[in-house]
Chains A and B, each alone.
Chain A
């Protein structure tokens, strides 16, 4: 009995310490972002901020100073991430329906191709893509990066949704077929409405992935007016001087979208992760 209590206490202690260690950087960033620069430098960052000196100056600066201009980045990110979620979701849902419900000749081959695409490391494709984009005039365009993310997204979402569709009861689809429904109607009236949790999970994972991308953005978006928020955050850090408050505020702005999405839809995130294992 006493050993059991001891064990519970010990486990709780360990978990709390881990949780604290895990969240400390975030708490730190929030604290720094609302403190004046002077205070951060003189008094250090790991403390409860002085209420009287709290400020949102860093946020305003980060968003609006034309030097950094996170507002534009945020807007660009929203556009890129939304469209790069919508396009592959629609395309992949259609493809996934075909893979799960129709018989056609090249099905195993095409499905194998999707798996191969999912396994290719992104870094490997950058050089050929760069030349392709330059020749097509897509280099440094928002459309170009949307196309890129959509292409990556469509492969894994097809795979993900196909597995999801496979788990729908077969008899529902067969019943609809006997009732005389066409494939498109079965897709739109039966399969899609029943797969909303799966579609949500896929959309959220894809959106977050695109939002957090820095690698492709750094390579394919160069001009200030096209850059996304993750690139803008990097620019908050000067070469010789780092304004910690400004950088912290920028980081929080940049991660605000994924955090909000997670807070609102965390049920779907869980389901998505459970269905997926680890995404990439």
Chain B
């Protein structure tokens, strides 16, 4: 396996008064594909640039394979980076672009012209751009440029692959295709990869683990299913998922009072809280008959998405999104009954915004 392990320890980076990265800790295993996911300005790109060595952290250390590389130049870290705009050298041919990382190290790695040529050809073949080697980057399509950028990052077999939103400039269809290829390539080569994106679909489909970031902090690191099914933070719950998780604001006393329904609360749960959020994904709410329903609401609007529908239901004054694959003939203003899959519901503390875990069965099984 080629990949190296990576460890970020207590990384903080400030730009003037703005804290871009705030005491960030992250460990990445050999060969792992990790995605930093977050909205723009959350510090994910800065984190990537710190790993690359293009930014120096104000505090904290970066370790690659256990070696502290914090003070090393980017070129000495043996990492390769794919930029959002690909950063292909416009005055060089595709061949020269791919060969560049080898040419600048030729004497250090004792490479002859022939060695370089062999390696460039091998990578170019692997990425199916070997027929484009004489062209200039401007003569290539977006997908081809993307491949050249990947080839340039691959050719010297780096320890870590860094990618800064590499698919965001591609057409939707090409993006799907390249995404699948990228994942296959990474798995085949086993290169440790840190990938930055704001696109959650990309993150969930590519990653071994996703690190969700906001305001310079990592809020949760976990497998795509963990992040999706068991968000540890309200931000994660509402950022991941299309549409995001519904949050029902509930008042807590000896009963729990949510929009549309009320439950008695056995003494030991949610002590000391006056309010909490119940988070439930739109696909875990069902539209059912009156008898089966937990509570009722009024259809606000229906959004058909081809294979499924998003039904917006107004419950008291809260808008709840329900995702269903069922053929529906609902109209605005119609009364509907909703049933929540309680095993999937999660409680959040409004003060700390952290998850309180699943809703206890004694709460939701009452009739």
Contacts and interface: CB of A to CB of B under 8 A. Distances in A.
Interface of A: 169, 171-172, 174-182, 185, 189-190, 193-194
B83 A171 contact: yes
A180 B81 contact: no
Given A172-B89, A193-B91, A180 B83 contact: no
B75 A178 contact: yes
Contact of B74 (A178, A190, A193, A194): A178
B241 interface: no
Interface of A is mostly: helix
A180 B75 contact: yes
Given A181-B75, A181-B104, A174 B83 contact: yes
B54 A177 contact: yes
B80 interface: yes
Interface in B206-245: none
Contact of A177 (B74, B91, B156): B74
A193 B75 CA distance: 22
A177 B49 CA distance: 12
Given A180-B75, A181-B75, A175 B87 contact: yes
Contact of B81 (A175, A181, A189): A175
Contact of A179 (B54, B75, B91): B75
B360 interface: no
A105 to B, nearest CB: 16
**Listed residue (A169, A172, A175, A181) with the most chain B CB atoms within 10 angstroms of its CB:** A175
Closest 5 CB pairs of A and B: A180-B75, A175-B87, A171-B87, A179-B101, A171-B83
Nearest to A186: B104
**Listed residue (A171, A180, A193) with the most chain B CB atoms within 10 angstroms of its CB:** A180
Contacts of B101: 179-180
Interface of B is mostly: loop
Nearest to A168: B90
Contacts of B84: 171
Nearest to A190: B89
A185 B103 CA distance: 11
Interface residues of B, number: 24
B113 to A, nearest CB: 16
A194 B89 CA distance: 9
A136 to B, nearest CB: 42
Contacts of A177: 53-54, 73-75
A189 B89 CA distance: 10
Contacts of A172: 87, 89
B90 A174 contact: no
B54 A178 contact: yes
Contacts of B258: none
Contact of B104 (A171, A185, A193, A194): A185
A171 B85 contact: yes
Contacts of B73: 177
Contacts of B76: 180
A172 B54 CA distance: 12
B152 interface: yes
A10 to B, nearest CB: 44
B11 interface: no
Nearest to B76: A180
Interface in B184-224: none
A175 B148 CA distance: 13
B85 A179 contact: no
Interface string B91-124: 1000000001100110000000000000000000
B167 to A, nearest CB: 16
A178 B91 contact: no
23 contacts: A169-B85, A169-B87, A171-B87, A172-B87, A174-B74, A175-B152, A176-B104, A177-B75, A178-B52, A178-B54, A178-B74, A178-B75, A178-B162, A179-B101, A179-B156, A180-B76, A180-B101, A180-B105, A181-B75, A182-B104, A185-B104, A190-B89, A194-B91
A195 to B, nearest CB: 10
